[in-house]
Amino acid sequence: MSQNDTFLRDQDGDFSDWIEIYNPGEQNINLFKYSLSDNLTESRKWNFPEVTIPPKEYILLFASGKDRKDTLELHTSFKISSEGESLVLTEPGGAVIDIVDPVILAKDQAMARIPDGDRLWLVSSLPTPGGPNKVNNQLVFSHKQGFYKDPFHLDVYSINGDTVRYTLDGSIPFERSASVSEAIYMDYLESEPNFFSEIPTSTAQENQAYKAWETPGKTVDKIHVVRCASFDRGERTSKVCTRTYIVDSNVHENFCMPVISISAEGDDLFGYEEGIFVPGISEDHDKVGSTGNFFMRGDNWERLIHIEYFEPDGTLGFSQEAGIRVHGGITRQSAQKSLRVYAREKYGKDSFDYPLLPQKSVNSYKRFLLRTTMGGSTVDNATIRDVLAHELSRDLNFEIQDYQPVVVYINGEYWGIQTLRDRIDEHYLEYTYGVDSDSVDIINANHTHVDAGTNLSFIDLAGFINTHDLSVEANYEFVKSSVDVLSLVDYVIAEMFFSNWDWPGNNQKLWRSQSEEGRWRWIFFDLDIAYYSVPSMFEKAILDEREHPWYEEPVSSFLLRHLLKNEAFKSIFIARMVEILNVDFAPSRIYQKMNVLVDLYRDEIPMHISRWHYPSSVKEWEEDIVDNMLSFLLNRHCDLVQEAILFFDLDEFAYDCHSKEYIENHLMIAPNPSNGYFFIMNNSSKGVIWSLTVQDNTGRIVHQQDEVFLGDFEKKYLDLTNLAAGVYYLKYSTDQYPNYSSPAQSVVKPIIIF
């Protein structure tokens, strides 16, 4: 066993690697001067002391590097590499008795000859040091995991007839866990008291920037997580098997998005010393906003979980063990954490073989994210800021993160909506662009932090730019051979359009293939603190050493500053900005993409609010989307155009802020669909006088109002709840748009009443 993680301790209490020697003969064997080694060219690396193995018996050695020859517990002078290495056993004369070829094993797995002394090597998840090697026992479940409308009795038995023990709280069964002496009743759980959801997952502090934990205040939704294993005379004889059962009379109508069930030892997630969801032992009370177990990083803070993925209809996507870490920066202090999920060979499988993201034709992932809905500040109720920015930017010339909202349960308790996302790393680049994951460079905004590969290519490029004038065409052409300038242009325009406050000094990554043709391209991510007014995004994007604030490193805008000295680059920038504002970020496209996303999340939002008290309410969620996000985006074009005119000293810009299309896109209806109670909003800084009619699909007028004035950003509510469900058409017309030179005559928009 080369990764003894929890299986067997030595006399020092350490989980050292171990090797077992078996005597298949009929005579005692004295191992004195026999040798064991992990190096075929140095076969006498460690010699046995005077120790005898009786016939059909075993001797255990710890490969700990401690080099002890106390016959009560033997320790070799070497360890076994977790990456796999050869082992060789030689007799006193030097002849090789046995060789074990290198093999990579998962934690607590062993290579074993089954049966004892046989030529056949098998991987065993349940080794038996000091006893006969045998094939792992298997468990049989009377019901497969999934969705059930009615309660049922779950029976679990062992094919070897061993005792099956189980848990229902996510913990791994042990020899004293409850036994399946009779079938387990899978009942409705609406009255089951909360447990894990009552454990604080953030630090209580004044003026916290992100949503702090609150007790749910009511019973949260629950599902059954059954974990079973078989035991014989106190020893586990099977793998731990985990099954999730969702029992509800309306189960097939309950979910509008996939369901993820995560189970883990409670202490691994919520324990004071080891729990990655809690402030715990790592919290410094003088630095409560940046310390706590959830701020810890690295391998030591990765936890073993079992994860199951179900489609909304209950179809099982995958079920496997994996690793989990808390993901992100300062958002780690939020009550609901962003999570990074890893498939690794040591957990049994090194990939998630399922099409996790509907926008991609990818069926296998190394890792993925479950992003929190609490990525924005405490005043942000929208939950979809980042996702919308990525969807609107889908056709632009940089890398984005695809998405799939999911419902998450942890140890059987409802954890709310999280958004499954690509993890931007070398594996993402491999499955997206077909590049070798071992041959890419990924660096961050200040070009010093390296996520993959090296930053040497960029350092060389920066050296050239610092010593060459890019207004000279030859120098500019040289830079273009190393930089995909269209990627940079599109990326900067998008960041400026969405007014990402946390950029460019943060949340900026770029990558290149290490091939000769590889050029630096940009990666778009984390726009949770976007859609906020910034005095001038142009100035923010090119800050130099004299004017940058402490949180913006001037090196982050270094490349753009120098490229803007070149007239050809400047022309490309202006032309692309015109095209992107008129096409990719056209108001009609913003409406369409936002409505799709709102529909995607809407049905699950009430349950999510009940769990986290966030957003504040469904009404606040809808109003934040309309009053803040949509209002910002529809007015952003002309604000950015004005910035561009001033920055580039232009006489005109090819985006018409006075067109009919611009005007009609600023008269909006929300929510739509609705129950008949909705509002019409003048989402512009210009007042309008208009009349409206509502017609059914036969053309009959069912509602009419004349000469209604709407001031800038004013709403007017309409109550049409008396109408039958169906599609209606709202027509508003005017010839009195104050301050507009090109008035719209009339606009018709469908409204849906359910």
Question: What's the CATH code of the domain at 737?
Answer: 2.60.40.3080
Both 144 and 114 in one domain: the answer is no
pLDDT attached to residue 548: 53
Both 333 and 214 in one domain: the answer is yes
Both 667 and 559 in one domain: the answer is no
At 376, give phi and psi (nearest 5°): -85, -175
Measuring CA to CA, which residue among 306, 300, 367 is closest to residue 340?
367
How many C-beta atoms surround the C-beta of residue 66 within 10 A? 16
Both 168 and 286 in one domain: the answer is yes
pLDDT attached to residue 378: 54
Pairing mode, strands 677-682 and 338-342: unpaired
pLDDT attached to residue 657: 77
> Does residue 579 lie in a domain region?
yes
pLDDT attached to residue 482: 97
> Does residue 432 lie in a domain region?
no
The Cα 68–Cα 290 span in angstroms is: 45
Q: Are 202 and 334 in contact (CB under 8 A)?
A: yes
The H or E element containing residue 494 is helix 485-497
**What pTM was estimated for this model as a whole?**
0.79
Measuring CA to CA, which residue among 2, 61, 8 is closest to residue 31?
61
Residue 668: CB partners within 8 Å, gap ≥ 6?
591, 626, 630, 634, 680, 681, 683
Written as six digits, the tokens of 121 are 């090597």
The Cα 323–Cα 305 span in angstroms is: 6
Written as six digits, the tokens of 34 are 């026999």
List, run by run, the mean pLDDT of 10-residue segments along the chain (754 residues).
87 92 92 92 92 93 92 90 89 91 84 80 80 80 97 94 96 95 95 96 75 94 97 86 97 95 98 97 86 94 98 97 95 94 92 96 96 76 89 97 98 98 95 94 88 95 96 97 97 96 91 95 94 84 61 78 96 95 91 91 96 92 87 90 93 78 70 87 75 88 87 85 91 59 63 88
Measuring CA to CA, which residue among 426, 448, 450, 449 is closest to residue 439?
426
Token pair 């000859």 in the structure block, residue: 113
Both 475 and 561 in one domain: the answer is yes
Q: For 268-278, give one letter per residue: b (16+ CB within 10 A) or e.
A: bbbbeebbbbb
Task: Classify the C-alpha dihedral 530-533-538-543 as positive or negative.
Answer: negative
> Does residue 461 lie in a domain region?
yes
The Cα 326–Cα 277 span in angstroms is: 8
Q: Are 166 and 226 in contact (CB under 8 A)?
A: yes
pLDDT attached to residue 422: 94
Both 330 and 291 in one domain: the answer is yes
Tell me which residue range forms the domain holding 505.
Answer: 438-584
The Cα 156–Cα 547 span in angstroms is: 68
> Does residue 2 lie in a domain region?
no
The Cα 388–Cα 618 span in angstroms is: 19
Q: What is the DSSP letter of 197?
A: G
Instruction: Map residue 93 onto helix, strand or coil.
Output: coil
Q: Are 445 and 505 in contact (CB under 8 A)?
A: yes
Angle, CA of 466, 469 and 474, to the nearest 5°: 115
Q: How far is CA 515 from CA 431, 435, 439, 452, in A?
A: 17, 9, 8, 15
Both 204 and 257 in one domain: the answer is yes
Burial (CB count <10 Å: 0-12, 13-18, 19+), residue 300: exposed
Written as six digits, the tokens of 361 are 């034709």
Measuring CA to CA, which residue among 101, 94, 160, 111 is closest to residue 4?
111
Measuring CA to CA, which residue among 617, 618, 620, 655 is closest to residue 636?
655
Domain final residue pick, 584, 607, 625: 584
pLDDT attached to residue 207: 58
Both 412 and 449 in one domain: the answer is no
Number of residues assigned to the chain: 754
Amino acid sitting at position 348: G
Q: Which alpha helices (DSSP H) does 233-315 contain, by range?
A: 251-254, 266-270
Pairing mode, strands 241-247 and 146-148: parallel
Domain final residue pick, 565, 584, 603: 584
> Does residue 622 lie in a domain region?
no
Q: How far is CA 572 from CA 221, 493, 575, in A?
A: 53, 12, 5
Instruction: Map residue 379 onto helix, strand or coil.
Output: coil
> Does residue 500 lie in a domain region?
yes
Q: Are 154 and 166 in contact (CB under 8 A)?
A: no
Both 267 and 193 in one domain: the answer is yes
Rounded to the nearest 10 degrees, how much is the dihedral formed by the CA atoms of 121, 126, 130, 132? -60
Q: Which residues pair with 750 in a beta bridge?
A: 729
Q: Which residues pair with 113 in a beta bridge?
A: 121
Q: Are 741 and 659 in contact (CB under 8 A)?
A: no
The Cα 672–Cα 743 span in angstroms is: 25
Burial (CB count <10 Å: 0-12, 13-18, 19+), residue 33: middle
pLDDT attached to residue 745: 56
pLDDT attached to residue 739: 44
Query: Per the structure, how many domains does the chain have?
Result: 4
CATH of the domain at 93: 2.60.40.1260
> Does residue 594 lie in a domain region?
no
Measuring CA to CA, which residue among 386, 418, 412 is closest to residue 614?
418
pLDDT attached to residue 235: 81
The Cα 226–Cα 209 span in angstroms is: 37
Written as six digits, the tokens of 508 are 């900026």
The Cα 152–Cα 188 span in angstroms is: 10
Both 183 and 237 in one domain: the answer is yes
> Does residue 289 lie in a domain region?
yes
Rounded to the nearest 10 degrees, how much is the dihedral formed by the CA atoms of 419, 420, 424, 429? -140
Domain final residue pick, 566, 584, 602: 584
SS3 helix, strand, coil % of the chain, rounded to 5? 20, 30, 50
Written as six digits, the tokens of 511 are 């990558």
The Cα 596–Cα 589 span in angstroms is: 11
Q: How far is CA 549 from CA 65, 154, 542, 554, in A?
A: 52, 62, 12, 9
Q: Are 336 and 372 in contact (CB under 8 A)?
A: yes
Both 329 and 210 in one domain: the answer is yes
Pairing mode, strands 403-410 and 259-263: parallel
How many angstroms separate the first and last alpha carbons of the chain? Answer: 62
pLDDT attached to residue 743: 47
Both 458 and 549 in one domain: the answer is yes
